[in-house]
Structure formats: structure tokens, C-alpha cells
Amino acid sequence: MPCRPAVSITEFPVSGPGAGPYGITSGPDGALWFTMVHHGRIGRITPDGDTTSHRLEPDTGGPSLIAAGPDGALWFTEFRGHRIGRIGTAGEITSFPLPTPDAGPFGIVAGPDDALWFTEAGADRVGRITTDGRVTEFPLPVTGAFPSAIASGPDDRLWFTMNQANAIGAVTCDGAVTVHALPTPAAAPVGITAGGDGALWFVEIGAGRIGRITTDGRIDEYDLPDPSCRPHAITAGADGDCWFTEWGANRVGRITPDGRIDEYGLPSPSSEPHGIVLGPDGALWTALETGAVARMDAG
């Protein structure tokens, strides 16, 4: 069996320990953009570590996940502020309040229709916002589902985790929703991504597993070595593997399309890794809630 490549990890401090770097994405400007959930800021870091940040008004909205939009800007959710935000690469910020009270937007992704799609964890809905701010909301056929992360699938549907319904959902661009129940009770899925193999990959924070679902609904699950590691976010890497964070175990892991798992400890103890993304430099980047961003280079 061939040896797996080593991974070197570099951490860049980006905030104080209370700011809570959380979601992270690759921007159109060759930098990484991330949210600071507790301080109400959007940060930017270049691959060589230069950092700037921009304060939201008000700064109590809880910016959560962030994605690159089709318009050359970054779009993010404000879980407590019940808004969708847009920030241009020069730092100009626009906010769009949602029509449903206490919607709790969380996941966000660019869709196949040149709009942004997002989950409403507090309202059992999936939303769509155009780049000029027009919002449409689609109700889910499940109550108390807590829809969380969302990804654009290879079938032109948006795929999302239903954390409290223990299911994976898929929605077409005209709002038709399909629900796939997970075989493991209390799996509590959170992060989801489109893999390089044409399937969707997701993490089960409650069960300590990585899941895979095909576009026709076939589900496979892979046990992690530590069932209490609390996997949180997942992204597709350039190597064909998927990479994920273990929020409760201070590690980053990778899983091959056939289910082989490797894990890598982070240098700082108890750093609480959350979002993870493939960067413009080909490295994997993760936001550490304790105040840093880490770059992982596979050798």
C-alpha cells in the first residue's frame, strides 16, 4: 500500500481568542475570506498571511458561513441578525434582511442559477437570493429540521443537511424538495460538500462519522477512529479526497473516495477547527475559533 503524503500545517493568528473565526471560503481575489462569529466581522487573509477585517453594522448578527458569489463578491449569513450579507473585495458591505422573522440563516452557497442559496435553520426553509437582493423562500416538508450547511450538487440541485431531522435534503431550483433519512440515529449532520466522485459528502457531528450520498439517494457511512471527535465541516480537495474538521478533537481529517481515513493534529491545543476550504494556492485552509486560520499543505 503506498504511503500517504505528509501534511505540514501553519497557523496564522487573525484575531483575539473571543472573535471566533468560523466560516471560510476562497475569494475571487486570490485571498481567503472568513467570518468572526462573535465579533461581527468579516476577515480576509492572503496565502502569505497578511490579514485585514471589516466590521459589520450592527456587529451582533453572528456572521456564520460565507461563500463566493457569481458577482465577484463574498456572501455570508448572519444567524442571529437574520440577514444575508454581501461584501465586495474592496470591503463594501450590503445587508439584506430576510422576510421570515427569526429565520436563522446558516449555510450558503452559489447555485447553478447565478443566485445564492441558503438554509434557514430557525424556520425550516431553504432560501434563494439574487445578486440584486431578491429573496425567495421554500418550506421544507419537515418541522424542527434545523437545516444547516448547503452545497451545489452535480445534478443542478442544492443539497443540504437537516441537523435535527437526521436527514439530507435536496432542492431543485424551482423549490421541489426531496428528503433522505440517514440510517444512523442521532447522526446530526452539519457540513456537506460536492465530492470529486459525483457524490455529496457530509459529516455526522453526533455520530462521529463521514457520510456519502449519491444523487439517487444511496447512503454510505464511514466510522471515524474517535466517535466523539465532533466532525463539523467538509470540503473537496484538489487531490480527489474530502477534507474535514474535527471540532471536538483538534484535528483535520481526509477521506478518500473509497473510505480510507487519515487524521492530522493541529499545532495549538484546543483550537476548535470549524470551516474548511480549498484555497487558491492549492492548500487546505481552516478557521480556528480560538483566533487563527491554519493552512495545510499536503506533501
Q: Which residues are known binding-site members? A: 232, 272, 289
Report the C-alpha gap between 102 and 141 in whole angstroms: 19
- Give the three cell numbers for residue 161: 443537511
* Cα distances (angstroms) measured from residue 76 to each of 98, 107, 237, 293, 294: 13, 8, 22, 18, 20
Nearest to 200 by CA among 160, 171, 229: 160
Residue 244: CB atoms within 10 A of its CB come to 30
Q: Is the dihedral of CA 114, 282, 33, 37 positive or negative?
A: positive
Sheet containing 41-45: order of strands: 21-26, 32-36, 41-45, 51-55
* Cα distances (angstroms) measured from residue 278 to each of 36, 58, 275: 19, 30, 11
Residue 195: CB atoms within 10 A of its CB come to 23
Task: Decide: 294 and 286 in contact? Cβ < 8 Å.
Answer: yes
Residue 119: CB atoms within 10 A of its CB come to 33
Report the C-alpha gap between 257 and 195 in whole angstroms: 8
- Give the three cell numbers for residue 48: 502569505
Catalytic residue among 38, 39, 180, 274: 274
Nearest to 289 by CA among 84, 83, 14: 14
54 is catalytic: no
- The helix or strand, by DSSP H or E, that contains position 193, with its residue range, turns out to be strand 189-194
Binding residues for Mg(2+): 272, 289
Binding residues for substrate: 232
Q: Is the dihedral of CA 26, 81, 92, 51 positive or negative?
A: negative
By annotation, the residues acting in catalysis are: 274
